[in-house]
Each structure stands twice: as structure tokens, then as C-alpha cells.
Amino acid sequence: MKSIIVITFLLAAVLQWTHVVAQSSCSDRCGESGDSSTCWCNNQCEDFSDCCSDYSSLCLSCQDRCGESYSSSKPCQCNSACGNNYDCCDDYSSECGGGGGGATDADVIALTEELYELDLSFLVGDKITIDQTPPGP
């Protein structure tokens, strides 16, 4: 009889430990809310500093999320509309192969330099005259 009690106690302890370990990760929990977690995996956890340690790597990444439907509970999105909505995860482009909807600083600099070079090669400045006489009464 004593061994049954000990086995029951050990089984309960193992089940409780398994629950605590499972609840200390964001694996399959991104965006979820609940009241039995030791840490959180939703967009409010950063405000309350109670995110699970793997929150950023699992919930703020497009890894295994490309093309996923919009979810308001997730802080960033991984679908084709995220660029227009300005809510793509930082790794959307590298993970999903899509554009994030905006140009990077390097893109803007490269385009500016290209336009400047085109302007210099076109040389239209000498074909424009500016009348600097003030308008009459």
C-alpha cells in the first residue's frame, strides 16, 4: 500500500513538472492568453516583463509562419499583406522571401545615387533658362 502512495505521489510530481516545463516555453503558444502560465507569449508580455525566454525567437519570427493568416494576438505578421500594414516581423523578407513593403536605407541611398548619375549623364541643365526678372505691376 505504501508503494502505491509513493508511486502516485511521484507520478503527480512528474505531471506537475511536465506542465511547468511546457508552460515556460512559447512553443505552440504564441499569442495565447491564459491564467496558468509561468510566463507569457502574447503581445502584452513585453509591457509586463513576463515573456517566456523563447518569446522573441518563436513569436517575433516568421520561421515556420510564412503565409499565416492575420492574427491580432501576434505582435508581427508573416503574410503578403504585412508590408502594406507595416506589421511584418523583422525576418519576413529573409524567411518568407517577400518584401517588407518598404525600402531600406541602403536601397534609398542606391536609388539616390543612380538618379544623380542619370541626371549628370543627361545634362539638361544648359537647356533650361530661368527668367529672374521680377513680375511687373
DSSP track, 53-102 = TTHHHHHS--TTTTTPPP-TTSSSB-STTHHHHT-B-TTHHHHH----SS
In tens, the pLDDT along 95-105 reads 998 655 556 67
pLDDT value at residue 96: 93
Mean pLDDT (whole number) for 118-129: 64
Per-residue DSSP letter, 136 = P
In tens, the pLDDT along 5-34 reads 544 444 443 334 333 344 688 888 888 876
Query: Exposed, middle or buried: residue 112 (CB in 10 Å: 0-12, 13-18, 19+)?
Result: exposed
What's the pTM?
0.50
At 109, which amino acid appears? Answer: I
